[in-house]
Amino acid sequence: MKRTVVSLSLIISAATAQVEAHAFLRDAEPTVGSTVQTSPSEVRIRFTENIEPAFSSIQVFDASKKEVDKRDVHLDRSDRALLHVSLARLAAGIYKVVWRVVSVDTHVTNGNFTFRVTR
């Protein structure tokens, strides 16, 4: 019995040492680190797993950390792994996209990337 308790403790410690999240960014539009010539009308991110829209978000910030998206994050009608958020017209500059999603198997991931608008 003692050995079983020790084994179970070791298993739990091994699993809790570092638990990573599950829905990863597969591709985005504008693409990660890209430069676009004109202001995009929206940011789209496709993830590696289907996601829960109720707890998933995408925010877009300009260089002064002002939020420039329209706060209308929504799931694509035909692809439950694809999130959209609309953008106001963007001036030239660097923009930071911050995302946080919950996958259907309930795991949370977050990340960020930037893109540049030239005019």
- The reply to whether 12 sits near another protein by the rule CB under 8 A is yes
Q: What are phi and psi of 67, to 5 degrees?
A: -75, 125
Give 79's contacts (C-beta < 8 A, 6+ positions apart). Answer: 46
Task: Select from 52, 86, 49, 80 the least CA-distant residue to 67.
Answer: 86
Out of 37, 54, 77, 78, name the contact with another protein by CB under 8 A.
54
Helix (H, G, I), strand (E, B) or coil at 64: coil
Whole-Å CA distances, 116 to 32, 46, 69, 93, 100: 10, 20, 15, 6, 21
Out of 45, 55, 79, 96, name the contact with another protein by CB under 8 A.
55
- Residues from 26 through 45 that contact another protein (CB under 8 A): none
Stretch that binds another protein, among 12-20, 37-45, 63-71, 86-94 (CB under 8 A): 12-20
Question: Other CB atoms closer than 10 Å to residue 41's CB: what's the count?
Answer: 12
Stretch that binds another protein, among 31-39, 59-67, 83-91, 104-112 (CB under 8 A): 104-112
In the complex, minimum distance from the CB of residue 89 to another protein, in angstroms, rounded to a whole number: 31
Out of 7, 34, 41, 118, name the contact with another protein by CB under 8 A.
7
> Which parts of this chain interact with another protein (CB under 8 A)?
1, 4, 7-8, 11-12, 14-16, 18-24, 48-50, 52, 54-55, 100, 102-108
